[in-house]
Structure 1
Amino acid sequence: MNTLPRLRRRVSAAFAPLSRPPALPVRAATGSEVVRAEGVTVRRGGRALLDGVDLTVRAGELLALVGPNGAGKSTLLAALSGDVTGGPARGEADEGAVLLLDRPLPEWTPPQLALRRAVLPQEASVSFPFPVAELVAMGRAPWAGLCAPGADDAAVAAAMDGTGVAHLAGRRFPTLSGGERARVMLARVLAQDTQVLMLDEPTAALDIGHQELVLSIARQISEDGGAVIVVLHDLGLAAAYAHRVAILSGGRIAAQGAPADVFTASLLGNVYQHEVEVLPHPRTGVPLVVPLR
């Protein structure tokens, strides 16, 4: 893919201040803890968006963060990634701590973080009309000087093929539909090739087929030893694909565990302030959450 040499020149300035390349990441063993939140609190405008949240995520696990609007899902994801804005220091929560691979987030440099966790924000903006192939290739920037060019090409091609955007390689990003843009941005994150993947509402702009595709990719990454944290509004998708769910309400975790254990009519009704029924799928047994109308 001929966009990568040009991309390397563009990103070289960002890595020029480094005296040496960051050390290559060592993948954590499946089942080991990779992300831990301890008493995480985030306050803005006198209100606690998160209030003393404790959470652990392990390699080999897909964790879904669910809850009503304003519950703190995206804020928690930002805190876990180190992307909280307005905190007391770079990306830090106001209180508590977040550890990535047993090290507090502030102890990682940005290049080190970029090799270990990738983040798909809820809204991603692109300043220039890059071609799709070049935009996806930007996900390889953290690996500059750390791997052979062929590895970059392979990672970009695999990410584009997996998300179904390879046929868009030459298209300019602004010309794409909302769903196409969402999948291109996901491909860029996948090309980053990190063990920890954090996705904020990755299915929001997608049709049902592509929603299933995205969650299937996320589930497979976790089955291969990755750790995936995904914010979802669709409780059906969370029940079908997540190993565990954390239900947020008012900035706190109301419950966490396997979907079959925590998706109860009484709990969801209280959290969402709307009565629901929870029924087992007739074929798979996966909980189906149906609002009462």
Structure 2
Amino acid sequence: MARPYRSVLYIPAANARAMEKAQNLPADAIIFDLEDAVSPTEKAIAREGLESALAGDYGSRARILRINGLDSEWGRDDALACGGQLNGVVDAVLVPKVNAAADLDLVAGMVPDLPLWAMMETPVAMLNAAEIAAHPRLEGMVMGTNDLAKELNSRFRPDRLPMQAGLGLCLLAAKAHGKVIVDGVYNAFKDDDGLRVECEQGRDMGFDGKTLIHPAQLSIANECFAPSETEIELARRQIDAFEQAMALGKGVAVVDGKIVENLHVVTARKTIERADAIAAMAG
């Protein structure tokens, strides 16, 4: 049963209190951030404190560590720590500013035993999304929409029209290679209506979940990226109807006036599996 990634919350790796509180938050995954959320003077200290901080009880939440880029003075030590003392308390390593598969190769050599995730946040990354997604060590992709907007010099629009080309390329690449992909953050953390619109858009496009910057955003992301009771009920009826049709030697069924073929049943089973995985994670 695949792990859900409906809500992926960023937590500064220098904030011990926030990391402790995260153990009880309803997030599917947590990104402990050594990069943007930590000042240069605190980066080394934050890294040194991670082994004890991440050894706490995070339950079934995935623990992902975003390291600094290897082109920085901290990135190499971050990666070596993931391959050493942090191996076992970190579930995956998130590599920033991945522009090509070769960027993942560099980190993979220093972190031999952990899955890698890639931040997709530059125009070059969008154009190389397929080769990045095909990397054998890659488990997931994270859209870095703030950095991408900066690189594109695009303006914010509720429909995210300027982002659609990049989002679509990364989605196609992730789905083609069976990788997890989560949408970028919504910056206005007090704007629940705007967050819901963006979550629903990402869900409808095919994203597995959304990265978040504040715990107040968790409930909306969890709701939007989970199958609704109506969807679960329909999935069960589609499966039942198709199995009955097959037993009668028919290749299709009809549910609510719509044809149900094998491809619809595959989707229905995935819906049930996703709901079961969410229920298992909840308790």
Tell me, yes or no, whether TM beats 0.5: no
Which structure has more relative contact order (CA 8 Å, sep 6+)? It is: 1
Q: TM-score scaled by structure 2?
A: 0.32
Instruction: Considering fraction of residues, name the structure with more strand.
Output: 1
Q: TM-score scaled by structure 1?
A: 0.31
Instruction: Considering fraction of residues, name the structure with more helix.
Output: 2
